[in-house]
A and B are shown apart, each in its own frame.
Chain A
Amino acid sequence: MKVSILQFPGTNCEYDTQHAFEELGATTEIVWHKEENIPADTDLLVVAGGFSYGDYLRSGAIAKFSPVMKAVSTYAENGGKVLGICNGFQVLTETGLLPGALKRNDGLHFISKHHHLKVQNNDNVFLEELNNGDIVNIPIAHHDGNYFVDENTLKELYDNNQILLTYTDADGNVKNPNGSIDSIAGVCNKEKNVFGLMPHPERAMEALLGSDDGVKMLKGFFK
């Protein structure tokens, strides 16, 4: 299992992501955004969290023009698995690999805390280790996590089981921290090989540090 992790100027979760996947037994490689190719043996490409290009203009907007992103699009179009976490999710929506956009949080504050999520659709490699309706406890840390799609696209997301996770409380009742439409925390593309979510599974790897629910999520990619 080889995980390649993208690094833009301003990315700051690449080493956490690397640590998380190596703990699970993967080999990893950090790929600088100026590269025009991604390693040929890549099994999973992760667009890690952070603040690429200082979030200038819009979160993720400038990163989409980095040289490596052309290779990322080709990799995804050929069925390669791509996971965008937090700023990585924003980059993937800006690039058009995932539907929708991430707006400023409704409360206008940066939110950094553990939050419960409910698994909505596990018929994909990312969440197949979990059951629909399972609740996981995963940290969120974002200013622009307010997911928005227009009505038609939202309907498509439901019809194609593209909604991965929603924000809830510990009992699975809707609890929306940032104003996301239908409390959506993560989605995938129609082909189910590109995944994006605002919460940070790579920060939930040790029970001692609050939660190890991230293990079950990232493990899905090891099949």
Chain B
Amino acid sequence: MKAIINISLKAGVLDSQGKAVHHALDSLHFSMVSDVRIGKQVILQLDTEDKTKAMSDVTKMCEELLANTVIEDYEIELV
């Protein structure tokens, strides 16, 4: 099983990189873009088929290390 974790700055925390990329897209005339948020993706290969255990462990990993919950949100997807 794989865990795909998407980490991004919380809503309300200014995303400077997103803002810069938005500006660059604007200058390329992609006017339909109204907001850009940039995050990072962590992919974990897990040696278990137990989804409940996987979810609970990966949540702990996010809380303790992978995300800084002062400024970041995370989403976990198990596939």
What residues of chain A have their CB less than 8 Å away from a CB belonging to chain B? 57-58, 61, 65, 93-94, 100-101, 103-108, 146, 148-150, 179
Query: B59-70 vs A: 1/0 string, CB under 8 Å?
Result: 000000110101
A-B interface, 10 closest residue pairs, ranked by CB to CB distance from nearest: A101-B70, A101-B71, A106-B16, A101-B68, A148-B71, A108-B16, A104-B16, A58-B68, A108-B20, A103-B71
Do most interface residues of chain B lie in helix, strand or loop, or is the interface mixed? mixed
Pick the contact of B17: A61, A101, A108, A150 (CB < 8 A).
A108
What residues of chain B have their CB less than 8 Å away from a CB belonging to chain A? 9, 13-14, 16-17, 20, 65-66, 68, 70-71
Nearest residue, chain B, Cβ from A149: B70
Bound Cα distance A148, B70 (Å): 8
Bound Cα distance A149, B14 (Å): 12
Which of chain B's residues have a CB closer than 8 A to the CB of A93?
70
CB distance from A105 to the nearest CB of B (A): 7
Nearest residue, chain B, Cβ from A153: B70
Do most interface residues of chain A lie in helix, strand or loop, or is the interface mixed? loop
Which of chain B's residues have a CB closer than 8 A to the CB of A108?
16-17, 20
A to B CB contacts below 8 Å, 10 in the list: A57-B66, A61-B65, A101-B68, A101-B70, A101-B71, A103-B13, A103-B14, A104-B16, A107-B16, A148-B13
Which of chain B's residues have a CB closer than 8 A to the CB of A57?
65-66
Which of chain B's residues have a CB closer than 8 A to the CB of A106?
14, 16
Which of chain B's residues have a CB closer than 8 A to the CB of A103?
9, 13-14, 16, 71
